[in-house]
Amino acid sequence: MINRRFALLAGVAFLVSTIAFELPTDAKGGGGEVRLIAFLGGSPTQPLASGKAVYRKRDTSVRLSVEVEDLRGVRRVNVSVGGVNVGSARVAAGTADLNLSGGAVPAVTTGTVVQVFDARTGQVVAEGTF
C-alpha cells in the first residue's frame, strides 16, 4: 500500500513538474520580453529532487538559468535543453545551478524539454517542460 501511495505521489509530482508558464511581454510595450518557466520534478532515482529553469529573452539579450535542489549522492550534473547538452554544474549541499547567456543559450519555445542528468551515471535526476 505504501508503494502505491509513493507511486501515486511521484506521478502527481511529475505531472505538476511539467507545467510551464509563459509570462507576458513588457507591460510598457518597449522592446518586449519573453519569459518561460519550467518546473522540474524528480525522477525514480532522485524522487525528492525539484527545481526550475527560467528562459528570458529581451531584445538581443537571452539568458537561461537552471536550478535543481535536494539531490542526493550526485556530485555533478549535465543539463540538456531540447536534446542539446548546454553545460554542467557542480552540486554543493544538494543544489546545482547553471546560468548561461548569449550564444550559449539554445532556442527555447513552449514545449521544449529540460533534463538534468547525473554526470557520472547518465541517469535523469530531474526534468520538466517549458
pLDDT confidence band for 28 (50 / 70 / 90): very low
Q: What is the pLDDT of residues 49-86, one digit of tens each?
A: 999 999 999 988 999 999 999 999 999 999 999 999 99
pLDDT of residue 31: 60
User: With 0-12 CB in 10 A as exposed, 13-18 as middle and 19+ as buried, what is 113?
Assistant: middle
Q: Total structural domains in the chain?
A: 1
The pLDDT of 4-33, averaged and rounded, is 49
Q: What percent of the chain has pLDDT over 70?
A: 76
Kindly report the CATH number assigned to the domain that includes residue 79: 2.60.40
Domain boundaries, position 14: 2-129
Q: Point out the least confidently predicted range of 3-17, 38-52, 69-83.
A: 3-17
